[in-house]
Amino acid sequence: MNDNKNLKNLGSKKQTILNSLSFQVMWFATIYLASKKLALLAFIPTISLSSYYVFQTHPKLSHKDRGLWALIGLGLGFISELFFWYLDLFTAIEEPLILIPLWLLGLWVTLFIMLPIELSALLKRPILAAGLAFISAPFSYISGAKLGAMIMNKDLITTSLVIGFVWAGAFYVAAKIFQHQLRE
């Protein structure tokens, strides 16, 4: 993998703010397009921002490492969303090509490509990362449902708890992978 020093101090404060804003704009664009039943178009913002992060941002983080984080996001996202589908937490407003809307998997991939770049300090603390994911992740899903990208099928408390626990586990796993990369 990459040199430890490169993984420790990846971004400037200005770059972090810009990346955070770009992620939020991408999230809203994706949710907006999905809510208008334009599922394939909704995949474009996630692909665009993911490509930017993989190929142009932070030359100190290798393409191999960024590709690894994209695969981690895809894998954890697919498993998590499949679990949510199995529990019937949400219904996509437009029939997905696969069980899970591509735009939703794209959000996972984009977020996980950004994790070692923008949230490296958080990933050094697995319990904190899991706790913050437990608290914050349900808001994204519920906001997406309120904005019309999907329909919530269960009550708010059940949905929030399930999403929170799944995301806490995903972030804990991500933090452990990041710590392993730092040791190499």
Segment 97-132, tens digit of pLDDT: 667 888 888 889 888 888 887 777 788 899 999 999
Please indicate whether residue 41 or residue 161 has the higher confidence score (pLDDT).
161
82 or 1: which leads in pLDDT: 82
**Spatial distance between the Cα atoms of 73 and 79, rounded to a whole number of angstroms:** 10
> CA distances (Å), 94 to each of 34, 88, 99, 100, in order?
8, 15, 11, 11
CB atoms within 10 A of CB 25: 12
What's the domain count of the chain? 1
Q: 130 or 39: which carries more pLDDT confidence?
A: 130
* 61 confidence band (pLDDT: 50, 70, 90): low
Q: Write phi, then psi, for 101 (nearest 5 degrees).
A: -60, 135
Count of CB atoms situated within 10 Å of the CB of 23: 18
User: How far is Cα 167 from Cα 78, in angstroms, rounded to an integer?
Assistant: 12
pLDDT in tens, 50-60: 777 666 655 55
CB 96 within 8 A of CB 102: yes
Q: How confident is the model at residue 2 (pLDDT cuts 50, 70, 90)?
A: very low
Range(s) of the domain holding residue 30 = 4-183
